[in-house]
Amino acid sequence: MTKPLTGKIALVAGATRGAGRQIAVQLGAAGATVYATGRSSRASRSEMDRPETIEETAELVTAAGGEGIPVVVDHLVSEQVRDLVAHIDAEQGRLDVLVNDIWGAESLVTWNEPVWRQPLEAGLRTLRLAVDTHIITSHFALPLLARRPGGLVVEIGDGTTAYNDHNYRVSLFYDLAKVSVNRLAFSQAKELEPYGCTAVALSPGWLRSEIMLEIFGVTEENWRDALDKEPHFAISESPAYVGRAVAALAADEDRGRWSGKSVSSGELAKVYGFTDLDGSQPDAWRYIVEVQDRGKPADVTGYR
């Protein structure tokens, strides 16, 4: 089978777990060489203190049919990001896809409290992890990506612009972080346009990440058992779904039509025809607007 991304070089920044891991894997499945970065390695864990490592991600990329290359990077440290990009340039001489998926602030967010009752330092660090990391990475990586026309930048967030512009995300810091990520794609699209490159903001739906599965006490195999606790979890999607969305964008010769836009994995599935692991096409953000936010009973008929 022809792999459309054979010969392409990708950097997935924040690939240790969740969406980033499966974005790296699905790019690998399409034939790409993928540099997978993060702070958690077999040698040491990040402040999140979780078991997933970038080495595991790179191995999954290679097993999927690509070439996975793990690099330990803290994307808040400019020198480390600069050296990472120099390393990619020295080894490959090009960068075709940059995915900014750095996050890592799950334990820092305080929900349903006004800003004056929130821990200030935790809130500011949330913004640093969610926004500063993306800017630092693009600052160093875009000159290499823009060297050739056709480069793609994907900013991974939570919620499309259409949703976030009209809905408060129940924490000032989280709200600002997710609005900002979408705007970063818009801004980078303008700056990359003269170089023939594309930038897109992409949101998964309700993601069955490792952390989310643990919260509900289920696994990917029995995730539907969580519906007893949260019926709307029926619209959730595996991380592979957004991974396939990125791979589809990267393989599309007409990807420039998406430049500056904010889209979801469910929206792109309808255009490109890919499915989640179970063969369905969950359209989470349409469901959230039309069913969940309106207080209707959980019913995914017509939404996956």
Which tokens belong to 5? 């991304």
Global pTM exceeds 0.85: yes
Instruction: Determine the pLDDT at residue 1.
Output: 65
Render pLDDT for 181-239 as a digit per residue (tens, 0 to 9): 999 999 999 999 999 999 999 999 999 999 999 999 999 999 999 999 999 999 999 99
Catalytic residues: 174
- Give dist(CA 163, CA 130) in Å, integer: 18
Q: What is the mean pLDDT of each run of 10 residues along the chain (304 residues)?
A: 92 97 98 97 88 96 98 98 98 98 94 97 98 98 98 98 96 97 98 98 97 96 96 98 98 98 98 97 97 97 96
Query: Which residues are 37's β-sheet partners?
Result: 13, 71
Instruction: Determine the pLDDT at residue 147.
Output: 97
Residue type at 115? V
Which tokens belong to 113? 């409290």
157 close to 182: Cβ distance less than 8 angstroms? yes
Nearest to 21 by CA among 70, 87, 77: 70
Instruction: Determine the pLDDT at residue 217.
Output: 97
- Give dist(CA 122, CA 105) in Å, integer: 9
Instruction: Determine the pLDDT at residue 46.
Output: 87
- Give dist(CA 21, CA 301) in Å, integer: 29
Nearest to 264 by CA among 240, 239, 284: 284
- Give dist(CA 127, CA 177) in Å, integer: 6
Does residue 202 sit in helix, strand or coil? strand
